[in-house]
Amino acid sequence: MSQYGRRPTPWAGRVGRSVAACVLGLCMTAASASPPQQDRSELKPGTATPTIRKKDPVPTYARDVAPIVQAKCQNCHRRHQVGPFPLETYEQARKRAADIAAVTEERSMPPWKPTRGIGPRLKHDQSLTHAELAILAAWAEGGAPLGDIKEMPTPPKYAEGWKLGPPDLILEPTEAFPVSASGPDVYRCFVLPTNLRRDGFLEAIDYAPGDRGVVHHLIAYMDTTGRARILDDAAAGPGYPTTSGPMIEADELSFWMAGSEAHRLPDGIGIHLQAQADIVLQIHYHPNGRAALDRTRVGLYFSKKPVKQAMHWNNATNYRFRLPAGKNNIEVKANWFVPVDLEALAVCPHMHSLGHDMQMSVKLPSGKTRTLIEIADWDPSWQGSYYFHDRIPLPAGSVVQVVSHYDNSAHPRNPSHPPRNVEVGPNADDEMCVGYIAVVKKGQDLTMPGSRDDLYQTFVRQRERQMRRAMSR
Ligand code: HEC
């Protein structure tokens, strides 16, 4: 159960998926509530519906369940990881068979939030297929048998340390940060000087949390102004407190959450790291019952191949909305007008605790709209960044659109009891509506003499104009 508790909204659970889809104007899938919708990706001609029928033999742990648990659960549910208990042995899984069936059926575990089958194919998809769900349910119902241990798959070997191999540069805060055993979640920024004398490109960024039990998610930013250092110097202890973001204008470099898979960017694409930049690491700590000391390290992997395109995150953000106390199903929208021809590589939806669902799409200049992602059952504890399998064209003049819904009625996740009117702001009890999107400039070739990476500046200028307009309204 997440620290925010499950909300007793009429939308919760499986039925919620289709109601939320209706809210989003996708009612053509409404009939999918029960029985569950078959994923389009699994709909191949001649494929039988992968549900377990009564006369089928009961699945066994050794043959059927262990491979699923290894592939989809153990990256968090093993010793010293973020999951609250290990699922590494038969006995550990047997004890919790009913819970496992329940949390997977309602899709709260694994915490992969994008709706299956909506939007383009995603990399590193952690969600369970309907066949896997059916196996877990039938196994629990059938008494959770072990089966023949000869069929047991060999336990996977987890690389200790860095999954992509030793980084080219490791940065870490000068001191460990104490996280208390209980109390509210803590957001903290750490300033890590790179001291690099020249600009460079990164093909990957990975993180080694000092204490995986408390590091819930983090965002790395790049600061070239020195302003983060000033905030750091002014605050007591390592780093400085934050409620959201680095509290300064800074280029987002990467997002990570517990369970994320480190990966390299495709060849020819890099993250631009400027000379003498500071990396600002914003960490979300979730106290877990024992006092912890964390010193999270950042591993930088420089691009080994020539980089033609620089990846930057931008966003569609609504800077001004109000959520009246007691109301639910409040719609908030945000748009971002694409200024030059781009290609999208990833998205990362962001709201706080009152968020209920979010959909990101792109309206192309032709008038056609293409969905990028849908999170039908938002959970602030599981904020992922999701990479597309193939690049998505965003021609100049396209509009990246965010439509989200908020629930400001009384529910366990609402930080205010009783609910109060909520506006946009950085604090945990304020709200935000941001659809981050990672892009490259179409056709950019930074290896050509004279070409330079000006995309971030283009976005900053556009954002400043937008802010000025919003303020003068
Ligand atoms: C990305 C990390 C991650 C993955 C992957 C993951 N879990 Fe979890 N799981 C957690 C965390 C963290 C919790 C503690 C509750 C929370 O914070 O939501 C949890 C809680 C649970 C619980 C207790 C739920 C409750 O309501 O108390 C069960 C059961 C569970 N997980 C089963 C699974 C199974 C089965 C899988 C694979 C199919 C899985 N988890 C995959 C991180 C993960």
Minimal-distance CA residue to ligand 1 atom 18: 2
For the stretch 320-364, pLDDT in tens is 999 999 999 999 999 999 999 999 999 999 998 999 999 999 999
Residue 361: the pLDDT is: 98
Distance 109 CA to ligand 1 centre (A): 5
Residue 180 in 3-state DSSP?
coil
What is the rounded CA–CA span in Å between residue 148 and residue 63?
7
Identify whether residues 142 and 174 lie together within a single domain: no
Contact yes or no for 222/216 (Cβ under 8 A): no
The answer to whether position 352 is within a domain reads: yes
Distance 170 CA to ligand 1 centre (A): 30
Identify whether residues 132 and 231 lie together within a single domain: no
Residue 29: the pLDDT is: 26
Task: Among 207-221, 223-237, 282-296, 422-436, name the most confident range.
Answer: 223-237
Identify whether residues 360 and 227 lie together within a single domain: yes
Confidence bin at 243 (pLDDT 50/70/90): confident
- Residue with the bigger pLDDT between 157 and 454: it is 454
Contact yes or no for 17/377 (Cβ under 8 A): yes
Determine how many CB atoms are found less than 10 A away from the CB of residue 4.
16
Residue 34: the pLDDT is: 31
Q: Among 119, 151, 183, give the residue marking a domain's end.
A: 151
**Within 6 Å (CB) of ligand 1, which residues are found?**
1-2, 72-73, 75-77, 82-84, 96, 99-100, 103-104, 109-111, 126, 258-259, 381
Does the structure show a pLDDT above 50 at 100?
yes
Mean residue pLDDT of the chain comes to 86
Distance 83 CA to ligand 1 centre (A): 6
Identify whether residues 147 and 173 lie together within a single domain: no
Q: What is the CATH number of the domain that holds 423?
A: 2.60.120.230
For the stretch 421-448, pLDDT in tens is 999 987 778 899 999 999 999 999 999 9
pTM for this model (two decimals) = 0.83
Q: Among 151, 183, 198, give the residue marking a domain's end.
A: 151
What is the rounded CA–CA span in Å between residue 143 and residue 140?
5
Identify whether residues 372 and 432 lie together within a single domain: yes
What is the rounded CA–CA span in Å between residue 359 and residue 376?
8
Residue 54: the pLDDT is: 57
Residue burial 311-320, b: 16+ Cβ < 10 Å; e: rest: bbbbbbbbee
Which of these ranges, 12-21, 74-83, 344-353, 411-420, has the smallest mean pLDDT? 12-21
Task: Give the single-character DSSP code of 95.
Answer: H
The answer to whether position 26 is within a domain reads: no
Contacts of 122 (CB under 8 A, 6+ apart): 114, 373, 386, 387, 388, 389
Distance 78 CA to ligand 1 centre (A): 11
Structural domain boundaries, residue 246: 169-472
Confidence bin at 308 (pLDDT 50/70/90): very high
Identify whether residues 123 and 178 lie together within a single domain: no
Contacts of 157 (CB under 8 A, 6+ apart): none
The answer to whether position 1 is within a domain reads: no
Phi/psi zone of residue 131: left (φ > 0), alpha (ψ -120 to 50 degrees), beta?
Answer: alpha
Q: Among 92, 124, 151, give the residue marking a domain's end.
A: 151
Number of domains comprising the chain: 2
For the stretch 5-33, pLDDT in tens is 333 332 223 223 322 222 222 222 222 22
Identify whether residues 287 and 418 lie together within a single domain: yes
Structural tokens at position 340: 């030059």
Does the structure show a pLDDT above 70 at 146?
yes
Identify whether residues 96 and 182 lie together within a single domain: no
The answer to whether position 52 is within a domain reads: yes
Contact yes or no for 127/110 (Cβ under 8 A): yes
Distance 280 CA to ligand 1 centre (A): 29
Identify whether residues 125 and 249 lie together within a single domain: no
Residue 257: the pLDDT is: 81
Distance 77 CA to ligand 1 centre (A): 7
Determine how many CB atoms are found less than 10 A away from the CB of residue 258.
22
Distance 380 CA to ligand 1 centre (A): 15
Identify whether residues 85 and 138 lie together within a single domain: yes
The answer to whether position 17 is within a domain reads: no
Residues, the chain: 473
The answer to whether position 226 is within a domain reads: yes
CA 232, 233, 238, 243 dihedral sign is: negative
Identify whether residues 122 and 256 lie together within a single domain: no
The best mutation among 76, 92, 185, 218 to test binding of ligand 1, ranked by most ligand atoms within 8 Å of the C-beta, falls on 76
For the stretch 39-73, pLDDT in tens is 333 333 333 344 555 567 899 999 999 999 999 99
Kindly state the average pLDDT of the residues 122-151: 95
The answer to whether position 22 is within a domain reads: no
Burial of 146 (0-12, 13-18, 19+ CB in 10 A): middle
Confidence bin at 185 (pLDDT 50/70/90): confident
Identify whether residues 260 and 300 lie together within a single domain: yes
Nearest 10 degrees: Cα torsion 170, 171, 176, 178: -110
Minimal-distance CA residue to ligand 1 atom 26: 1
Residue 49: the pLDDT is: 43
The best mutation among 73, 89, 212 to test binding of ligand 1, ranked by most ligand atoms within 8 Å of the C-beta, falls on 73
The answer to whether position 7 is within a domain reads: no
Residue 53: the pLDDT is: 57
Residue 4: the pLDDT is: 34
